[in-house]
Amino acid sequence: MPRPLPRCGAGGSMEEFVQQLLNGLTVGSGYALVALGYTMVYGVLKLINFAHGDLFMLGTYLAVSMAVSCLGAGLASPWVVLPIIFLTSMGLVGVAGVLIERTAYRPLRGAGHLAPVVSALGAAVVIQNAVMLAYGANYQVFPEGLVPEARWIVAGMNIPVLRVAMLVLSLILMAILYLFIQRTTVGAAIRATSLDHDTARLMGIDINRIIMLVFLIGPALGAASGIMIGLYYRQVYFTMGWIYGLKAFTAAILGGIGNIPGAMVGGMILGLFETLAAGYISSAWKDAFAFVLLIAILVLRPTGLLGERVVEKL
């Protein structure tokens, strides 16, 4: 990540603990949004989309470009600029996700397990370096004054409004996705495809369209998370997608891979765990904590916390 989280001293006061909790939830909701992309793709294709983290990064870069050109065109109100940034960036990243599926994954369907892994890594390398070539290898910075710097003082605690807004927006997006998956016909088709391709096809579901849809929604949600992270830290970097993506993948496994509510819960737990461990144990080892948790989960409970889908022969 570009800049470490503002570290609260390991004092142990109640206020600090609540601050850490809020930090953890905000970070966690970001992981959750990215984890949804991993888990949905894994659900329908049994493939780890290694390019997902880089699509997330692509979203932040597109958002920076959009923000700069919006401000350049004289649009200054955040209420106009932010929706434009979010919608265009999410849309473009969704299209990029679909393109990657078509070019790098679809030709390899049914070709064993090794080939798609290498192809996915290749796609990740391509996105990362294409962004690096297009924007240069330096940090990109969001323009000033795009988001309010306001802070709320609640019970003596200093709470940035942006942080709360990020949390609320993430929760809204997750609620929409949950309702879409659980309550609509298309959502039922996605669930059916995750369970069994052949049976789903017999029920008249166009598998390719469902996979396309998943590759549209997942990266779009990842982009939304990326933009929020970018707005919060104000700067984005072309390799940021890798480690962030890996942690989001940890969140997806934590909740039980292929399980959509699991990814949401897993993201929140990972965010809280990481923030509290960084705040109270050691911030230098922050990234290592996430991977230790990942390994512990895979060794002790490979189906994840909400592992209702039985993973056999693991």
Partner 1 sequence: MGAVPLRKLPPGLWRGLALAAAVAYPWLVNDYWVDVMNFCGIYMLLGLSLNIIVGYAGLFNLGHAAFYAVGAYTTAILSTRFGIPSLWLLPVSALAAAAFAYVISRPIIHLRGDYLCVVTIGFGEIVRIALINNPGGLTGGVNGIIGVPRPDLGLFTVRSVDQYYYFILFFIVLFVWGMGRLERSRIGRAWTCIREDETAAEAMGIDTASLKLLAFVLGAAGAGLAGNIYATKMTLVAPEGFNFWESCVMFCIVVLGGTGSIPGVIVASLGMAALPELFREFARARMLVFGLAMVLMMIFRPQGLWPSAHWRRQVKRESGVTPMPSAGSPAQ
**Interface positions with partner 1 (CB under 8 A):** 46-48, 103-104, 107-108, 110-119, 121-126, 128-130, 132-133, 242-243, 246, 249-250, 253, 258, 284-285, 287-288, 291-292, 294-295, 298-299, 302, 311-314
Please, which residue, 92 or 254, has the CB nearer to partner 1?
A: 254
Shortest gap between Cβ of 246 and partner 1 (angstroms)?
7
Please give the Cα distance from 178 to 312 (Å, whole number).
Answer: 26
**Which backbone phi and psi does 58 adopt, to 5 degrees?**
-55, -40
- Beta carbon nearer to partner 1, 90 or 190: 190
Q: Which is nearer to partner 1, 14 or 114 (CB)?
A: 114
Q: Report residue 159: phi and psi, to 5°.
A: -115, 120
Which C-beta is closer to partner 1: that of 100 or that of 224? Answer: 100
Torsion of CA 237, 243, 247, 249, to 10 degrees: 100
Of residues 160 and 266, the one with the C-beta less far from partner 1: 266
CB of 120 to partner 1, least distance (A): 9
Give the helix/strand (H/E) hosting 158.
Answer: strand 157-160
The token pair at 225 is 């998370």
Q: Pick between residue 19 and residue 250 the one whose CB is nearest to partner 1.
A: 250
Query: How near is the Cβ of 164 to partner 1 at its closest, in Å?
Result: 31
DSSP 3-state of 256: coil
* Least spacing, CB of residue 100 vs partner 1, in Å: 9
Q: How is residue 138 annotated by DSSP?
A: S
Token pair of 110 as six digits: 């049914």
Q: In angstroms, what is the minimal distance from the CB of 156 to partner 1? A: 34
Residue 233: CB minimum distance to partner 1, A: 20
Cα(264)–Cα(29) distance, integer angstroms: 7
Go through 248-278 and write b for each residue having 16 or more CB atoms within 10 A of its CB, e for each that does not.
Answer: bbbbbbbbbbbbbbbbbbbbbbbbbbbbbbb
